[in-house]
Amino acid sequence: MNDNALVKKRKKKGIVPVLMRVAFFTAFFLLGWTIIIPYIAARAIYDSVFGTRVTPMCNTVTYDDYKDVMNRQRMDFYSGKNMLGAYLYTAKNGKKGKALVLVCHGIGCNMDGYLNRTQYFVRKGYDVFTFDMTGTCTSEGKNIKGLNQSKIDLHNALEFIRSQSRFKDMPVLIYGHSWSGYASANVLNYGHDDLAGVATLSGFNNTWDTMYFHAQRYVGKMAILYKPWNALVEKIKFGKFAGGTGVSGINKYNGPVLVSHSKDDPTVPYSCSIIVHRDEITNPRVEYLLFEDRGHTMSRPREDEIKIAKSVEGKKSRIIKTAKYNTFQYNVDIRYEYSDKQTVFATDDKFMDMINAFFERCLEARTKERG
């Protein structure tokens, strides 16, 4: 082979590595700008929303306000690597409840924020189990992680209850509100067929709808561009607990479920609710309570809702928003800062009686089914 032929052969071989390097750097550049960088940005947005802890809300009640009605016992349990603060509430006379009710709190609140409903169920003859979600008050966790964390914590609470001999053969019911309204329906996707019944109040059907609703307040309809990245972030953060809907859980469970919502709910709008998808629900044992003017809390008397709204009307908030102040808690606190706790935690027994009536039907049906 002459020298000219050898040079041509070397040049030809040298082209391949160069092309490979160009292809590699082009692919890496495109990957970075189309996937990696957008994902990092999406994760940063997600963590900015859910990346802080929740502390006790303003003007809140405590156990001391109800200690004449019920006893309590600390019963902490693990959800992943975090220990969650939990209590079992029982009747003052020591009589065992006819069933165990899990009262599960909304986002930005904690279990003490539901003590008025807890004491209602204790008065009606139930034992009540409550707990703080990850990153909330008495529970461990650097932050609340995200909307799917509520169903993970509820799932682990149910597993813990099954492991306790004192609850053996005891019917278990769930009262889930808002964030936990979503969780109490969605957790049914993960094998909890032994539940006696579930009441889901003011719950959203899936995480994206409610996130999109609130994101539009800040960036308008452009928020839709975040949808695929939100799904990716949640899949990476929550694994098998990402996705799913309240409707799919209700249909898979096939047990008694009460779905309740109010059309004027400003926090979980009717368009994001589980009840708006009632045509997709195939579970024949579902009951519905749809209201026009009960707001988000639902269990509070209408006159107290009006009183709270008037208390902040035209007034400037005294609460300073800081980087460490959980966004959801902030939105709760600024609504109640001018109200006394008796108003904030007023309970409409007529409404709660409808929930209790449903639970009674669940227990009656369970007794008939088991002969």
Task: Report the b/e string of 293-305 with b at 16+ CB within 10 A.
Answer: ebbbbbbbbeebb
CB 130 within 8 A of CB 102: yes
Instruction: Determine how β-strand 100-104 pairs with β-strand 172-177.
Output: parallel
pLDDT for 7: 45
Amino acid symbol at 219? V
Which of the residues in the chain have pLDDT under 70?
Answer: 1-35
Q: For residue 33, count other CB atoms closer than 10 A to its CB.
A: 10
Q: Distance between CA atoms of 205 and 208, rounded to whole angstroms?
A: 9
pLDDT for 28: 46
Position 234 in a domain: no
Q: Distance between CA atoms of 61 and 312, rounded to whole angstroms?
A: 20
Amino acid symbol at 188? L
Cα–Cα nearest to 86, from 35, 149, 133: 133
Position 113 in a domain: yes
Point out which residues pair with 287 in neighbouring strands: 258
Number of domains within the chain: 1
Q: Is the dihedral of CA 242, 244, 245, 250 positive or negative?
A: negative
What DSSP string describes 205-228?
A: S-HHHHHHHHHHHHHGGGGGGGHH
Position 286 in a domain: yes
CB 135 within 8 A of CB 110: no
Tokens of 199: 């009441």
Q: Distance between CA atoms of 189 and 185, rounded to whole angstroms?
A: 8
Q: Distance between CA atoms of 369 and 295, rounded to whole angstroms?
A: 36
Position 341 in a domain: yes
pLDDT for 256: 98
Position 342 in a domain: yes
DSSP label of 360 = H
Q: What is the pLDDT of residues 106-128, one digit of tens each?
A: 999 999 999 999 999 999 999 99
Q: Which residues contact 284 (CB under 8 A, 6 or more apart)?
A: 254
CB 294 within 8 A of CB 264: yes
CB 178 within 8 A of CB 203: yes
Q: What are phi and psi of 123, to 5 degrees?
A: -65, -25
101 is in which domain, residue-wise? 51-206+244-369
Tokens of 16: 């391949």
Q: What is the pLDDT of residues 84-101, one digit of tens each?
A: 999 999 999 989 999 999
Give the position of tokens 């309970």: 347
Position 6 in a domain: no
Q: Distance between CA atoms of 118 and 152, rounded to whole angstroms?
A: 22
CB 240 within 8 A of CB 169: no
Position 227 in a domain: no
Q: What is the CATH number for 97?
A: 3.40.50.1820
Task: Report the b/e string of 76-107 with b at 16+ CB within 10 A.
Answer: ebebeebebbbbbbbbeeeeebebbbbbbbbb
- CA 22-26-29 angle, 5° bins: 140
Q: For residue 254, count other CB atoms closer than 10 A to its CB.
A: 14
pTM for the model stands at 0.90
Position 237 in a domain: no
Cα–Cα nearest to 251, from 311, 198, 177, 301: 198
Give the position of tokens 């009307």: 313
- Tell how far CA 142 is from the center of its chain: 17
